[in-house]
Amino acid sequence: MIAEETSEQIEQQNSKIPVGISSCLLGEKVRYDGGHKNNSYIGKTLGQYFDLQAFCPELDIGLGIPRKPIRLSRKGSDVIRCIPVDNPEPDFTDALAKSANEKRQWHSNLCGYILKKDSPSCGMERVKIWDDVMPIREDVGIYAGKMMENFPYLPVEEEGRLGDAVLRENFIQRVFIMRR
Ligand code: SF4
C-alpha cells in the first residue's frame, strides 16, 4: 500500500498540472469573427508545466463560427443578460451558466483556469455591461462567474494579468499549492 502511494505521488510530481483555458488563447479559431487570441507565453512557457485543457463555452452552447458578437446588457432591467450586440434576443445567459454547471466534473479535476479577459462569457472581472448610457466595467463573464461560484478556491487568472510579474507568480504558486 505504501509502495503504491509512493509511485502515485512520483507519477503526480512528474506529470503536468491540469489547467483549464479559454480555447482562443491557445490559438484555436473559435472567436465570433473566426479569429483567435493566441498567447505564446501561456502556450509555450506555462505549457511546459501545465496540461492546458481548452474549452470554449460559446461553441459549447451551439454558437457557430463566425457568429454575431454578444455582450452583457441590463438595458431596461436590473438583471444582467448576455445577448447579441444588436438585438435583445436570443438570450444566452442561462445556456452559458448551464454550460459551466455541466462542466463541474471537469472543473473539479483542474488545479487552475486561465480566462480570456473582457469576454461576456469568459471574462474574470471588469467585463463591460451595456445600458442606455455608457458601458461600465464591473461584471464577470457568465460562464466564468458560474464556474467561480461553483469552485471559489480554484486559482483563476486572466491572460492580460499574467503579463504582470507579481500576479503571474501569485497565480503559479496558487496552482502548485492546489496541485499539492
Ligand atoms: S467564449 Fe471564451 S474561449 Fe470562446 S472565443 Fe470567447 S473568450 Fe474565447
Convert the pLDDT of each residue in 39-94 to its tens digit: 999 999 999 999 999 999 999 999 999 999 999 999 777 799 999 999 989 999 99
Q: Cell numbers 458601458 label which residue?
A: 135
Say if 132 falls within a structural domain. Answer: no
Say if 168 falls within a structural domain. Answer: yes
117 pLDDT above the threshold of 50: yes
- Residue 118 and residue 124 in contact, taking contact as beta carbons nearer than 8 Å: no
Return the residue whose CA atom lies nearest to atom 4 of ligand 1.
56
Boundaries of domain holding 32: 14-67+95-126+137-179
Say if 166 falls within a structural domain. Answer: yes
3-state SS class at 84: strand
163 pLDDT above the threshold of 50: yes
Tell me how many domains the chain contains: 1
- Cα–Cα distance measured from residue 32 to residue 118, given in angstroms and rounded to the nearest whole number: 14
Instruction: Tell me which DSSP letter residue 86 carries.
Output: T
CB atoms within 10 A of CB 145: 21
Atom in ligand 1 nearest the alpha carbon of residue 25: 8
Say if 86 falls within a structural domain. Answer: no
Say if 53 falls within a structural domain. Answer: yes
Say if 26 falls within a structural domain. Answer: yes
